[in-house]
């Protein structure tokens, strides 16, 4: 099973693809789309939409998983993240893929064994689980790979591989 994980955001949108086979998970691709606040919002969302569409075409994942939105004190940030999530959802739907959502605490619990793990812990554990030579380049990439790991480990298809 191949899972595309997304950590949505308009300023920085992390992505990570993991592949599960023979009871192991490995990283296939990862990175982060960055857009400037000086760009028009529609152009920023188009960057995310096209990036997701290109990843799906190139890697043909079996599933897309997103980190659920955290609604904090700033409504503008929540709205911005929601718009980025919409771009991801539309790109996945256009490819015929449904999107699963995972709460940040569930992702952290799955990856780190602790639902309140910090960013550094996530980066270290993602590196260990996937056998990466280095930690992911930033927390957005680590979170996206974490979402993909969380989804893959909870998937019936991965259970069948064991």
pTM: 0.92
Residue 100 has pLDDT above 70, yes or no: yes
Q: Which two tokens stand for residue 86?
A: 């919409």
| Rounded alpha-carbon distances, angstroms, from residue 6 to 17, 64, 76, 111, 131 | 9, 8, 20, 15, 20
Mean pLDDT of the region 27-44: 96
pLDDT at 68 over 70: yes
CB 31 within 8 A of CB 19: no
> What pLDDT sits at residue 159?
44
Q: Provide the 8-state DSSP code for 161.
A: H
N-term to C-term CA, the chain: 12
DSSP per-residue letters across 59-84: H--SEEEEEPPP--S-HHHHHHHHHH
Predicted pLDDT of residue 154: 87
Q: What is the predicted pLDDT for the residue at 123?
A: 97
């Amino acid at each position: 099973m191949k899972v595309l994980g997304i950590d949505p955001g308009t300023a920085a949108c992390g992505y990570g693809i993991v592949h599960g086979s023979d009871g192991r998970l490995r990283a296939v691709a990862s990175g982060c789309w960055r857009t400037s606040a000086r760009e028009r919002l529609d152009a920023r969302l188009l960057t995310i939409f096209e990036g997701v569409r290109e990843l799906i075409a190139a890697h043909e994942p079996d599933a897309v998983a997103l980190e659920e939105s955290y609604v904090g004190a700033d409504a503008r940030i929540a709205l911005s993240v929601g718009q980025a999530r919409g771009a991801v959802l539309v790109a996945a739907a256009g490819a015929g893929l449904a999107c699963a959502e995972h709460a940040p605490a569930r992702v952290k619990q799955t990856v780190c064994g602790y639902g309140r793990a910090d960013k550094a812990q996530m980066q270290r554990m993602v590196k260990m689980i996937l056998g990466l030579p280095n930690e992911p380049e930033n927390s957005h990439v680590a979170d996206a790979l974490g979402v993909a790991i969380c989804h893959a480990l909870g998937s019936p298809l991965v259970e069948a591989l064991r």
